[in-house]
Amino acid sequence: MKSNYNKILSPFTFPVSGINITNRIVLAPMTTFSGNDDGTTTDAEVAYYRERNQSAGLLITACAYVIKHGKGFHGQIGADSNELIPSLKRIADALKANGNKAVLQLYHGGRMSPPEELVDGQSLSASAVAAVREGAQVPREMTATEIEETIVAFGEATRRAIEAGFDGVEIHGANTYLLQQFFSPHSNRRTDKWGGDLMKRMTFPLAVVDAVIESAALSSNPFLVGYRLSPEELENPGITMEDTLHLVETLSLKQLDYLHISVMDFWEGSMRDKNDTAPRAQLIATKVGHSLPVIGVGSLHTPEEVERVLTGNIPLVAMARELLMEPHWLTKVKNNAVDQIRTELDVNTQDLLKIPTPLWSALISRTGWLPVKNNQH
């Protein structure tokens, strides 16, 4: 049976690694809160990934911390020691079991790390400036040594991802975490080489990219490296679209396979300027998409919505919430069974959807994030 959705089902080859995927869908990285306290994965988390291993051509894990002081969530997996390679391999094996490509997302929480998850209860960041949110801890400014150690940690976590059998890594430079904190004039007030003007605020993220790419080059198999970013910040001073266009232009000179643009709604315009209505990912793709493929994401649910995005200059679409509710979205698109795609989260389907209890509790309790169908019996 021929599907009606040719763009979604067309293959794609990443430009640097040469890795090929059979369709244009990406499983977006979603925090599961379902690992063990020692950073290892759990049976429930592995089952969750196995259930979704046919949901996309490229499958990105929840973020893994690269160093202890970067842990950002309760139940987060780690990639900060060689002891965790067998745990990471369990996830890679589950994701790759049906022939799709698995990517480990690498992360440091910076000032967003909850003190109770940190060994000494103190978060670190570019500068001692708290996030603009209620009860935020004032982070301690990182020393030059800690910065260098963190850059090395990203490279070492990449090596572990290779040893665990992943096909690539995604550098998490989005959603207000450490790499974004160094790039932001709000959180980075440093006067040394790691802060200052726009170019200097890029120094740390670019050093992380270089360390990761250097480790990736050691893989005997093709291995891809992607970078996720948030295009703007609401804070003043904060990251502007102009800043981000400078950053992506610089990133396009690196040996990266893709940029992943993190926004809540793909079609939404600027969060800083209501008169600027152009979708952020499209602006970035116009700037660098000819050499660095852009992954779009954000409130895309139906195959029609995804095809519309793929008609523009965006070659790949990541989906998060939709693939939580419907792990077999892609199979149903292939089989022209679109009318059978689940569009809400039935409260009776946790076991069916293989969603671990910590993630399930978060989904059910977070009002308005997913359409929840409550027909308990």
Question: Is there a contact between 275 and 231 (Cβ–Cβ < 8 Å)?
Answer: no
Task: Give tens-digit pLDDT for 17-69.
Answer: 999 999 999 999 999 999 999 999 999 999 999 999 999 999 999 999 999 99
Check: CB of residue 241 under 8 Å from CB of residue 272. Answer: yes
Residue-wise pLDDT for 305-357, tens only, equals 999 999 989 999 999 999 999 999 999 999 999 999 998 999 999 999 999 99
Q: Which two tokens stand for residue 199?
A: 């170019």
- Is 49 one of the catalytic residues? no
CA distance 57 to 126: 36
Residue 182 resides in a domain: yes
Q: Is residue 3 part of a domain?
A: no
Taking CA atoms, 121 is separated from 71, 111, 117, 124, in Å, by 11, 12, 7, 10
Q: What pLDDT shows up at residue 375?
A: 65
Domain assignment of residue 6, yes or no: no
Q: Which of 260, 253, 294, 142 is nearest to 204 (CA)?
A: 142
CATH code of the domain containing 330: 3.20.20.70
What the block records as the tokens of 55 is 């949901």
Q: Tell me whether residue 295 is in a domain.
A: yes
pLDDT score, position 2:
66
2, part of any domain? no
Question: Read out DSSP for 177-226?
Answer: SHHHHHH-TTT----STTSSSHHHHTHHHHHHHHHHHHHHTT-SS--EEE
Residues in contact with 324: Cβ distance below 8 Å, sequence separation at least 6, in sequence order: 30, 345, 353, 355, 363, 370
Indicate whether 7 belongs to any domain: no
Report the distance separating Cα 86 and Cα 89, nearest Å.
5
Q: Is the pTM of this model over 0.85?
A: yes
Q: Is 265 a member of any domain?
A: yes
For the chain, the domain total comes to: 1
Check residue 225 and give left, alpha or beta (phi > 0: left; psi -120 to 50: alpha): beta
* Pairing assessment for the beta strands 12-13 and 20-21 based on DSSP bridges: antiparallel
For the chain, give the percent of residues with pLDDT over 90. 94
292 occurs within a structural domain:
yes
CA distance 45 to 30: 12
Q: Choosing from 5, 49, 177, 227, which is the catalytic residue?
A: 177
The residue segments making up the domain with residue 232 are 12-373
For the chain, the straight-line distance linking the first and the last C-alpha, in angstroms and rounded, comes to: 38
Tens-digit pLDDT profile for residues 117-134: 999 999 999 999 999 999
